């Protein structure tokens, strides 16, 4: 446990660590060809799942940066645990794996995976995005993340607390790592 984080933020940090360990295990021993293999036309490869996670992390974190900076300038410091609100909690839960039939939706255009992404490149981008997420947690740990709102980068007019956004990011990672593991199992069966 990192002593610079409160227990609530440490749990988020631990979820990042778990996702990163899972991604390492996921790609271990895979060839590039296996990493970019698509089980069906239009379905995502392992590389595309990883690319999607990394891109989603970057887009969400970018949307949170300015509101966090404004809150810091206003002196909006932490006074309670970092928790999503009810709607944010429900939204984050909708990303948990395995996806329910009602929660399956097409990825927003700005975070659709790049078809030309290699497995190595997608994995490196994922690891880098995890580092950015960790840096954000440490840099903003003293702010009132439960009350600071940011515009949802995918749904115009919706604002979430940064706490909700952090929980969405970790659930989103689990969902698409789960999806990538499904592809890996098919790769191994075909193999």
Q: Which token pair is 8?
A: 């609530």
State pLDDT tens for residues 95-105: 888 876 555 66
Structural domains of the chain, with CATH: 7-190 (1.20.120.450)
DSSP assignment letter at 109: G
State pLDDT tens for residues 136-182: 999 999 999 999 999 999 888 989 999 999 999 999 999 999 999 99
Task: Please check the confidence at residue 52 and state whether its pLDDT lies above 80.
Answer: yes
CB burial string 106-117: b at 16+ within 10 A, e below: eeeeebebeeeb
Distance CA 111, CA 131 (A): 19
pLDDT at 1: 42
Whole-structure pTM value:
0.92
The position carrying tokens 């981008």 is: 125
Distance CA 60, CA 104 (A): 19
């Amino acid at each position: 446990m990192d002593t610079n984080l409160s227990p609530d933020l440490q749990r988020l940090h631990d979820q990042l660590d778990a996702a990163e360990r899972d991604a390492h295990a996921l790609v271990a021993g895979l060839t590039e060809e296996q990493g970019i293999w698509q089980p069906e036309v239009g379905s995502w490869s392992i590389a595309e799942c990883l690319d999607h996670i990394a891109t989603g992390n970057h887009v969400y974190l970018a949307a949170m940066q300015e509101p966090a900076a404004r809150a810091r300038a206003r002196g909006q410091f932490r006074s309670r645990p970092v928790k999503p609100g009810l709607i944010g909690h429900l939204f984050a839960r909708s990303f948990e794996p395995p996806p329910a039939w009602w929660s399956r939706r097409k990825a927003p255009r700005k975070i659709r995976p790049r078809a030309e992404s290699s497995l190595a490149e997608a994995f490196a981008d994922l690891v880098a995005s995890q580092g950015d997420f960790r840096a954000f947690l440490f840099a903003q740990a003293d702010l009132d993340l439960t009350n600071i709102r940011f515009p949802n980068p995918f749904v115009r007019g919706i604002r979430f607390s940064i706490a909700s956004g952090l929980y969405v990011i970790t659930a989103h990672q689990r969902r698409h790592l789960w999806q990538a593991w499904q592809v890996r199992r098919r790769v191994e069966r075909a193999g």
